[in-house]
């Protein structure tokens, strides 16, 4: 192991930058912790528990039984709440489509999504993530699904991916509050897993209605999942990125281009050059419109 004392200032800065790009946020704890002492204490506690007289546990059993019997005579047990029956996927899709089509504005659509209970993802998520930014800008940026930071803060593209997205937009002269940011799925899938086909079918009417109501001039699609949803292909983002396509929104079509998601770029920074080419193409398209 190389000591930091042996590194030059430039080498140390490069090492810290590498750790930051890899997602390392803390190198040391504030106070030293003796893990060996913790382990020894844990083993001693287990030995003491195993050596405890069995007579104590035998005496505890009748006492516990008596206490349980006394509680049962004082108040009857309440039946456990019955789980709510789930809505069949086909019916949930119909309900989502009706709720989305009934919304005549983005605020009404937000209310409809927040009141919708037909998708199981909502029951495990903390927040319902709706679009943020300027809906009149004519520019729409659509990601895949909320992450842990989004779910915690209640807005799309939070945390480190959001910070990187801000830099990506700024590189082509755009600001977060001057575009409309949204995501295909309004609720974070547990463990950041990929949404299932049924879950996507339920959420699709909401994102399609968002596009129709916002009526953007161009759309920037971020990530593999979102690109597959809109372009109807099973290729990876590397095969789908950098090509202009069209997204249908009711009675009109909107030009759209896909690029890598900021989270992908945090994982593999070498792909930033690919995203930069896509951003330049997006900037050129906006200048034409």
Q: Is residue 244 part of a domain?
A: yes
Q: What is the pLDDT of residues 241-270, one digit of tens each?
A: 999 999 998 888 999 999 999 999 999 999
Please indicate, yes or no, if residue 67 is contained in any of the structural domains: no
Classify the phi-psi angles of 23: left when phi > 0, otherwise alpha if psi is within -120 to 50, otherwise beta.
Answer: left
* Percent with pLDDT over 70 in the chain: 74
Residue 139 lies in a domain: yes
Percent of the chain whose pLDDT exceeds 90: 66
CA-wise closest residue to 286 among 250, 244, 247: 244
For the domain that residue 174 is a member of, what is the CATH number? 3.40.470.10
Contacts of 125 (CB under 8 A, 6+ apart): 146, 151, 187, 188
116 found inside a domain: yes
Residue 128 in any domain: the answer is: yes
Residue 281 lies in a domain: yes
Domain span at 145: 89-287
| 84 within a domain of the structure (yes/no) | no
Contacts of residue 185, defined as CB under 8 A and 6 or more positions apart, other chains included, come to: 121, 144, 145, 146, 195, 199, 200, 203
Beta bridge partners of 219: 140, 256
50-89 pLDDT, tens per residue? Answer: 666 554 444 444 555 555 545 444 444 545 444 444 567 8
Whether the pLDDT of residue 32 is over 50: the answer is: yes
Question: How many domains does one find in the chain?
Answer: 1
Q: Is residue 117 part of a domain?
A: yes
pTM for the structure as a whole: 0.70
Residue 172 confidence class, pLDDT cut points 50, 70, 90: very high
């Amino acid at each position: 192991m190389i000591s930091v004392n042996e590194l030059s200032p430039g080498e140390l800065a490069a090492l810290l930058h590498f750790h930051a790009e890899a997602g390392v946020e803390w190198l040391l704890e504030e106070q030293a912790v003796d893990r060996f002492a913790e382990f020894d204490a844990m083993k001693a506690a287990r030995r003491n528990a195993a050596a405890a007289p069995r007579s104590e546990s035998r005496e505890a059993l009748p006492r516990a039984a008596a206490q349980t019997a006394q509680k049962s005579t004082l108040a009857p047990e309440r039946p456990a709440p019955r789980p709510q029956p789930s809505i069949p996927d086909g019916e949930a899709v119909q309900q989502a489509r009706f709720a989305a089509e009934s919304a005549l504005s983005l605020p009404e659509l937000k209310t409809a999504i927040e009141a919708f209970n037909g998708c199981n993802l909502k029951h495990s998520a903390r927040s319902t993530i709706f679009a943020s930014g300027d809906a009149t800008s004519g520019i729409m940026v659509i990601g895949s699904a909320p992450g842990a930071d989004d779910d915690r803060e209640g807005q799309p593209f939070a945390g480190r991916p959001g910070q990187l997205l801000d830099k990506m937009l700024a590189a082509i002269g755009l600001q977060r509050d001057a575009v409309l940011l949204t995501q295909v799925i309004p609720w974070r899938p547990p463990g950041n897993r990929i949404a299932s086909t049924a879950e996507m079918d339920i959420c699709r009417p909401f994102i399609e209605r968002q596009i129709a109501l916002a009526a953007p001039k161009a759309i920037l699609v971020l990530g593999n999942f979102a690109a597959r949803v809109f372009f109807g292909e099973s290729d990876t983002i590397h095969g789908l990125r950098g090509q202009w396509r069209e997204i249908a929104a009711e009675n009109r079509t909107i030009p759209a281009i896909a690029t890598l998601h900021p989270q992908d770029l945090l994982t593999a920074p070498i792909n930033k050059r690919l995203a930069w080419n896509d951003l330049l193409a997006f900037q050129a398209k906006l200048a034409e419109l």
